[in-house]
């Protein structure tokens, strides 16, 4: 039996595990994660009201329940186990750690209280145990920057009908905070035109049709666009925006503003954000944008950067800091000179950058696993006896198991059921450790 370690139990890692099982009956897979909970971005990134996408966990659960798969939760790469130890203990190692950091705007006032990354808000409403509590007290106007699906997600959660949010798995404290919120205006600001926005049409339409929310789109942003060369998604986005611009919502409880061709140049406030300054933009040289010098000031108590995620390097593993990825040739890890490093592979956002939807990881993992299995076929199984368990025992690391996760799962279902909800997330380390056992 050959043994493969997959570092990261998110969608990319679990699609890789699935492909490994399907591709070779002689392979066993150990999946490691820093958290005691598997499913990564499906659990902690996919919006809580997108229950359809969250249901992919059923596929992943079957993968983890397979006899040839072992889940090691609460094991952090670089702290609890090193690259060298994994390479000693396994025939191959697959890095599937995603992109956990966010990008900054680099403008004055970005450090004010009330200026945050959308990632922090997503982590909070998804009940991630590392998330800081987010207060919406006194927040009436929110401005998000970036016109991708993350901006659409956070805008939708902030504007959604409060009763609808109770049908999600949000932690109770998050639900209470959102129920009490007095957000009346949400702005989505793009530095280029609507034809350049990266959100997908289904997600955009869902946002534009929230009950009781008046969408406002500047008509001139939608004029003079040559649609002949645009793909279906972009034409769909433009049609959705045009419809929204023409729609009048009776007695709206909130307003959604979509503002294009504007970039943030300053956040203002005394310690706490109270306004953002936007500058008009126009197409510049070489596909870039230039500033028009014309500025507008929008009152805002919360500004959210949704301008893309960024991966962190893994200790001792090659990293391309410019692209924010582990460099590879179709998933085979390479060093700075482009030489393939034997037995090391990469999948997901840490391989291709933070793009694509959950399903994109399936074809991405298939490419990497095809190469991995081809390489394995030419090699003798290493058959290291103690494996990861021995390394962890020697270091005194108490890892968690798939059975531990099942207990967390049952506890969350019971917590939700008691309140008539499908699930309520356990959102603290103490709460999770309390279920798993071991020191809090
Ligand atoms: P994204 O789609 O790459 O969008 C990032 C946005 O930020 C772009 O509009 C970009 O504009 C803008 N931006 C970048 N730097 C900027 C700056 N300095 N100033 C102003 N704007 C800036 O990324 P994302 O929204 O973080 O989403 C990441 C991936 O997850 C995407 O593939 C997305 O589709 C996926 N996702 C999917 C769903 C879903 O399916 N429901 C939900 C969430 C996320 P430019 O184009 O001008 O660079």
323, 325, 330, 336 alpha-carbon torsion, rounded to 10° = 80
d(CA 294, CA 259): 14
Residue 386: both structure tokens together: 């103690």
Are the beta carbons of 400 and 64 closer than 8 angstroms?
no
> What is the number of the ligand 1 atom nearest to the C-alpha of 356?
32
Are the beta carbons of 367 and 16 closer than 8 angstroms?
no
Of all protein residues, the one whose alpha carbon is nearest to atom 23 of ligand 1 is 308
Pocket probe for ligand 1: among 307, 349, 354, the residue whose CB has the most ligand atoms within 8 Å is 307
d(CA 305, ligand 1 centre) in Å: 10
pLDDT at 160: 95
pLDDT at 48: 96
d(CA 250, CA 253): 9
**66 CB neighbour count, 10 Å cutoff:** 14
Of all protein residues, the one whose alpha carbon is nearest to atom 2 of ligand 1 is 148
Are the beta carbons of 37 and 125 closer than 8 angstroms?
no
d(CA 425, CA 428): 9
- C-beta of 356 in contact with ligand 1 (< 6 A): yes
Are the beta carbons of 75 and 33 closer than 8 angstroms?
yes
Helix-helix angle 402-417:429-436, to 10 degrees = 120
The three-state secondary structure class of 82 is: coil
d(CA 203, ligand 1 centre) in Å: 13
d(CA 199, ligand 1 centre) in Å: 7
d(CA 170, CA 261): 34
pLDDT at 126: 98
pLDDT at 254: 98
pLDDT at 383: 63
pLDDT at 138: 96
pLDDT at 387: 79
Cα–Cα distances (Å) from 431 to 114, 176, 286, 408, in that order, read 28, 19, 52, 9
Pocket probe for ligand 1: among 41, 48, 103, 191, the residue whose CB has the most ligand atoms within 8 Å is 191
Give pLDDT < 70 ranges for the chain.
383-385, 438-440
Pocket probe for ligand 1: among 102, 150, 197, 261, the residue whose CB has the most ligand atoms within 8 Å is 150
- C-beta of 49 in contact with ligand 1 (< 6 A): no
- C-beta of 346 in contact with ligand 1 (< 6 A): no
d(CA 216, ligand 1 centre) in Å: 21
182, 187, 188, 191 alpha-carbon torsion, rounded to 10° = -150
d(CA 190, ligand 1 centre) in Å: 10
d(CA 384, ligand 1 centre) in Å: 43
């Amino acid at each position: 039996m050959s043994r493969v370690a997959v570092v990261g139990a998110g969608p990319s890692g679990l699609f890789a595990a699935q492909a490994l099982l399907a591709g070779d009956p002689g392979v066993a897979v150990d999946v490691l994660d820093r958290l005691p909970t598997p499913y990564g971005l499906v659990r902690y990134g996919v919006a809580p009201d997108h229950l359809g996408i969250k249901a992919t966990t059923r596929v992943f659960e079957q993968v983890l329940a397979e006899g040839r798969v072992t889940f090691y939760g609460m094991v952090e790469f670089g702290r609890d186990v090193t690259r060298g130890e994994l390479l000693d203990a396994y025939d191959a190692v697959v890095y599937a750690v995603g992109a956990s950091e966010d990008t900054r705007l680099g403008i004055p006032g970005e450090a004010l209280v009330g200026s945050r990354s959308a990632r922090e808000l997503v982590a909070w409403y998804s009940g991630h145990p590392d998330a800081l509590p987010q207060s919406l007290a006194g927040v009436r106007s929110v401005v998000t920057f970036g016109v991708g699906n993350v901006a659409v997600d956070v805008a939708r959660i902030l504007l959604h009908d409060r009763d609808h949010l109770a049908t999600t798995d949000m932690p109770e404290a998050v639900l209470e905070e959102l129920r009490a919120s007095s957000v009346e205006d949400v702005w989505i600001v793009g530095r280029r035109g609507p034809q350049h926005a990266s959100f997908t049409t289904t997600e955009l339409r869902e946002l534009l049709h929230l009950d009781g929310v008046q969408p406002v789109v500047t008509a001139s942003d939608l004029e003079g666009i040559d649609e002949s060369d645009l793909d279906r998604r972009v034409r769909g986005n433009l049609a959705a925006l045009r419809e929204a611009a023409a729609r009048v919502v009776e007695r709206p409880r909130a307003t959604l503003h979509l503002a294009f061709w504007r970039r943030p140049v300053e956040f203002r406030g005394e310690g706490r954000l109270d306004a953002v300054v936007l500058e008009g933009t126009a197409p510049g040289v070489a596909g870039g944008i230039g500033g028009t010098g014309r500025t507008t000031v929008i009152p805002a108590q919360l500004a959210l950067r949704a301008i893309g995620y960024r991966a962190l390097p893994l200790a001792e593993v090659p990293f391309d800091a410019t692209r924010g990825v582990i460099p590879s040739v179709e998933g085979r890890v390479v060093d700075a000179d482009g030489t393939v490093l034997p037995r090391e592979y990469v999948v997901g956002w840490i391989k291709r950058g933070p793009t694509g939807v959950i399903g994109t990881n399936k074809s991405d993992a298939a490419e990497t696993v095809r190469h991995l299995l081809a390489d394995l076929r030419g090699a003798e199984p290493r058959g290291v006896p103690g494996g990861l368990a021995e390394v962890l025992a020697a270091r005194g690391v108490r890892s968690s198991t798939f059975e531990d996760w099942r207990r967390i799962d049952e506890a969350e279902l019971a917590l939700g059921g008691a309140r008539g909800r499908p699930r309520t997330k356990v959102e603290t380390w103490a709460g999770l450790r309390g279920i798993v056992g071991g020191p809090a």
